[in-house]
């Protein structure tokens, strides 16, 4: 059993969004008993067929069950249900939990997202905080932290699970939901995108490689974000308009899924390799994103790139707080060469603090850069946002 740190409020209906396999159903089973809730599973062909044909049938179910909560899993399967949910909240005061693994169909096919009548929560792969004593960095980099991966003890079984997950995503989220017209270029896109995780995105270059227009590549990335498989990291700029016009990076939501799609998951990752460094960066950025989301604090993440040799991996901006300038290195021994970009660029950003996050267990200061073990750095960033 994992200690989930998401803090759900039961004062009104809510959405719980997260990629497939993040544990939404299991989590809800822990906080809602069968005595006070009734579950409708739209992955079930019976429930799906019944409500897809007649969304108004939901009112009959609510009346028959007489439960405090109605849980509807994978609400994006029947977006028309949102109008019925809206009506029932208004007319009866019934409370709903609506889970989903794709915000794309909800936004495009639903007339509303309940207009503020439901809170919005996100569930992610497990953080190192939730795993506590079960957490192992090398295992997390190799196989990710989806809850199901911890049910397997062997390398082979973990690899088989991750490959199956990738295929399930293609079949159930992409083909069944008809999010794209042609699967082969999208499949090739997934491989390239996964192999270029943490790098600056080039729609043109990827389009050339898979023989599609760059605008289609941009749409492919939107599909990844809207099916909750990652997020874009924009370049830093004080002007939001400029920020939006420049090329972002993309971070996959889970290192194991990334490796499965990139075709590198068959072999455990090797420390001191290029892949290890990239995976460590992806892990740290995702942990910061998840932990700040769970802390329910407003923040903005970006990166600063001057040229190929001068870049700050991550900036964390929070209203009324110092901006964190973060360089991420997988080294176990931090030295002056690791802080060069921070030393040269930190002076141009007011009210900022420079951090080098690494696997070095020794805290130190190099050229006014605070060098911290990654666990301590993440703890400090979250604690600072809460103070």
Residue 348 three-state SS = helix
Q: State the CB neighbour count (10 A cutoff) for residue 283.
A: 22
Q: Which residues pair with 121 in a beta bridge?
A: 16
- Tokens 């007011």: give the residue: 350
The domain containing residue 221 runs over which residues?
A: 128-232+244-273
Torsion from C-alpha of 316, 329, 354, 307, nearest 10 degrees: -80
Three-class HEC string of 5-50: CCCCCCCCCEEEECCCCCCHHHHHHHHCCCCCEEEEECCCHHHHHH
Encode pLDDT of 89-107 as tens digits: 999 999 999 999 887 767 6
Alpha-helical runs (H) found in the chain: 24-31, 45-53, 57-65, 81-92, 103-109, 128-131, 137-143, 155-168, 183-195, 203-210, 214-226, 240-245, 255-262, 274-294, 340-345, 374-386
Q: Are residues 262 and 134 in the same domain?
A: yes
Residues 135 and 28 occupy one common structural domain: no
Element holding 327 (H helix, E strand): strand 323-328
> Are 341 and 300 found together in one domain?
yes
Q: Quick one: pLDDT band at residue 38, thresholds 50, 70, 90?
A: very high
Length of the chain: 387
Tokens read off for 45:
């062909």
Q: What is the mean pLDDT of residues 273-283?
A: 97
Record the pTM: 0.93
Residue 377 pLDDT class (50, 70, 90 cuts): very high
Does one domain contain both 79 and 204?
A: no
Residues 195 and 154 reside in one and the same domain: yes
CATH number at residue 67: 3.40.50.300
User: What would the pLDDT profile of 288-343 be if each residue is shown by its tens digit?
Assistant: 999 999 999 899 999 998 877 789 999 999 888 899 999 999 999 999 999 999 99
Examine the fold and report which residue of 122, 151, 174 is the final residue of a domain before the chain moves on: 122
Report phi then psi at 302, rounded to 5: -160, 180
Q: Are residues 97 and 136 in the same domain?
A: no
State whether 189 and 248 are in the same domain: yes
| 190-206 average pLDDT score | 95
């Amino acid at each position: 059993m994992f200690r989930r740190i998401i803090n759900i409020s039961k004062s009104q209906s809510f959405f719980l969004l997260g990629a497939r396999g993040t544990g939404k159903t299991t989590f809800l089973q822990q906080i809602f008993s069968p005595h006070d809730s009734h579950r409708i599973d739209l992955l079930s062909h019976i429930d799906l067929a019944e409500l897809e044909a007649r969304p108004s049938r939901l009112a009959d179910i609510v009346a028959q069950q007489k439960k405090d909560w109605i849980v509807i899993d994978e609400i994006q399967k029947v977006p028309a249900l949102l109008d019925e949910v809206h009506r029932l909240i208004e007319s009866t005061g019934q409370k709903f939990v609506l889970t989903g693994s794709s915000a794309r169909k909800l936004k495009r096919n639903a007339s509303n997202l309940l207009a503020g009548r439901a809170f919005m929560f996100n569930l992610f792969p497990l953080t190192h905080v939730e795993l506590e004593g079960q957490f192992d960095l090398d295992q997390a980099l190799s196989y990710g932290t989806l809850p199901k991966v911890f049910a397997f003890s062997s390398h082979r079984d973990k690899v088989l699970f991750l490959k199956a997950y990738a295929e399930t995503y293609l079949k159930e989220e992409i083909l069944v939901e008809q999010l794209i017209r042609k699967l082969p270029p999208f499949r090739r896109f997934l491989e390239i995108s996964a192999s270029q995780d943490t790098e600056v995105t080039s729609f043109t270059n990827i389009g050339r490689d898979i023989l599609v227009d760059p605008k289609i590549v941009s749409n492919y990335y939107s599909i990844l974000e809207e099916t909750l498989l990652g997020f874009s990291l924009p370049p830093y700029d004080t002007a939001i308009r400029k920020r939006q016009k420049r090329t972002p990076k993309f971070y996959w939501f889970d290192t194991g899924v990334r490796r499965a799609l990139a075709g590198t998951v068959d072999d455990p990752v090797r420390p001191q390799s290029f892949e290890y460094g990239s995976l460590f960066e992806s892990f740290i950025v995702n942990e910061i994103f998840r932990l700040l989301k769970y802390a329910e604090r407003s923040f903005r993440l970006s990166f600063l790139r001057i040229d190929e040799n001068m870049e700050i991996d991550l900036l964390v901006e929070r209203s009324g707080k110092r901006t964190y300038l973060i360089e991420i290195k997988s080294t176990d021994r931090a030295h002056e060469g690791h802080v060069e970009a921070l030393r040269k660029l930190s002076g141009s950003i007011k009210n900022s603090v420079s951090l080098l996050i690494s696997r070095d267990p020794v805290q130190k200061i190099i050229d006014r850069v605070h060098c911290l073990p990654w666990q301590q750095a993440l703890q400090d960033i979250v604690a600072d946002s809460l103070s």
